[in-house]
Amino acid sequence: MTLRRLFAALALALIAPGASFAANYTTANFVVTAPDEALAKRFGDMAEYYRKEKAEQWLGQEMPRWPQRCPLRVRIAESGAGGETSFTFSGDANRGVVASQQMYIFGPVRQLLNSVLPHEVTHTVFAYHFGRPVPRWADEGGSVLSENDEERTNHDIKCREILNQGKAFRLSALFRMVNYPRDMLILYAEGFSVSDYLVRRGGDGREGRRKFLQFLAHGMQNSNENSHGTVETWNAAAQRVYGVETSEALEAQWIEFLKNPGARVAARNTGNGNRPVNMTAVATPTSGSGVGFTSAGRTELRSSAAPALPILEPPVKAARGTMPDADVRPATRTAVRPNIPDRPPPILLPPEIPRPVK
């Protein structure tokens, strides 16, 4: 969803006239605002459908009814598509809860229903399960798994291009990222590819998702406001869940997986269905807010579209072999590159495009 032309969608978001929200529709968990009653009901019913489907896929059961309904604003546009979901968490770093949440999506109806809405709803499943912000790569990458075949294929292709260009983040750095990097396409594409690989490695389906969530839980241990876990916690998570000694070893096996011709069929149907999609321009995500977790509560933004260009210092530099040797502090937002020899980029073939189901 984020791998299309940013500036076309950005221009649309900036120059389009104010959205006309003329009708409301209330479900058990959503309050939908849309241009007319028919659309409001359609999106409300589909939001409830995806809420049930994604929770069952990831958690094995439905989420309980939310204490407060989630506002969902829908703006229909002929071109450009995206969305954002913001959360306010309360509690502590060990176990918090979602205090409030709201969702906004815009774009063509078909694309919103087939990709944008299930993507945003998946964010709510992760937020409910962990009660705290999830690492960006996993939150976005895992949510892309809910999108349709074309979008997942686009992310797979982009990740291979990034790896071949030597621009990908080392996994030991990617896993600990708190903020979106300056080049957010790298995080989205690489995050999807790694998430897809880990779910498949864990057995695919519900079992693969269960192990993926376990991996995140172990990796995020000892987190603070500056980082999602440490090198040691992610190494331990890789060993405990996937039987791999370190994140570097996991990285090597992920790249080998992408090189394997037998694994090159990208974007298989994982319960999302082979729904058609209008291939139009889509924006990249906005910057997220800080992730300091306090009992007083705070707002966390998970976004798939950019109403304005983000201005962020990168938590790590998007250079070949880049990896921070210490957590990045928000006061300076700098990253030190250790003395690691550059590796030649992998030569990865493009994925096989799935054939349409007749």
Q: Does 240 map to a domain? A: yes
- List pLDDT tens digits, range 168-199: 999 999 999 988 888 889 999 999 999 999 99
Q: Does 30 map to a domain? A: yes
Q: Does 345 map to a domain? A: no
- List pLDDT tens digits, range 8-67: 344 344 434 445 568 999 999 999 999 999 999 999 999 999 999 999 999 999 999 999
Q: Does 178 map to a domain? A: yes
Query: For residue 287, how many C-alpha atoms fall within 13 Å in the half-sphere facing its CB?
Result: 14
Q: For tokens 């937002």, what's the residue?
A: 333
Q: Angle at which helices 136-144 and 117-130 pack, to 10 degrees? A: 140
Q: Does 263 map to a domain? A: yes
Please give, one letter per residue, the 3-state secondary structure of the chain.
CCCCCHHHHHHHHHHCCCCCCCEEEECCCEEEEECCHHHHHHHHHHHHHHHHHHHHHHHCCCCCCCCCCEEEEEEECCCCCEEEEEEEEEECCCCEEEEEEEEEEEECHHHHHHHHHHHHHHHHHHHHHHCCCCCHHHHHHHHHCCCCHHHHHHHHHHHHHHHHCCCCCCHHHHCCCCCCCCCHHHHHHHHHHHHHHHHHHCCCHHHHHHHHHHHHHHHCCCCECCECCCHHHHHHHHHHHHCCCCHHHHHHHHHHHHHCHHHCECCCCCCCCCCCCCCCCCCCCCCCCCCCCCCCCEEEEEECCCCCCCCCCCCCCCCCCCCCCCCCCCCCCCCCCCCCCCCCCCCCCCCECCCCCC
pLDDT band, residue 91 (cuts 50/70/90)? confident
Q: Does 332 map to a domain? A: no
**pLDDT, the chain, mean:** 75
Sign for the pseudo-dihedral over CA of 97, 101, 106, 108: positive
Domain count, the chain: 1
Q: Angle at which helices 247-259 and 184-201 pack, to 10 degrees? A: 90
Q: Which residue has the higher pLDDT, 275 or 246?
A: 246
Q: Does 52 map to a domain? A: yes
Q: Is the pLDDT of residue 212 over 90?
A: yes
Tell me how long the chain is: 358
Average pLDDT over residues 315-320: 29
Q: Over pLDDT 90: what percentage of the chain?
A: 55
Q: Does 327 map to a domain? A: no
User: Which range of residues forms the domain containing residue 282?
Assistant: 6-303
Least confident of 139-143, 170-174, 336-340: 336-340
> What's the one-letter identity of residue 135?
P
Sign for the pseudo-dihedral over CA of 50, 53, 58, 63: positive
Q: Return the pLDDT at 315.
A: 32
* Distance, CA of 153 to CA of 224 (rounded, Å): 34
Read off the CATH number of the domain in which 246 is found.
Answer: 1.10.390
Provide the phi-psi class of 271: left if phi over 0, else alpha when psi is between -120 and 50, else beta.
left
* Distance, CA of 18 to CA of 27 (rounded, Å): 25
Contact 244, 253 (CB under 8 A): yes
pLDDT band, residue 115 (cuts 50/70/90)? very high
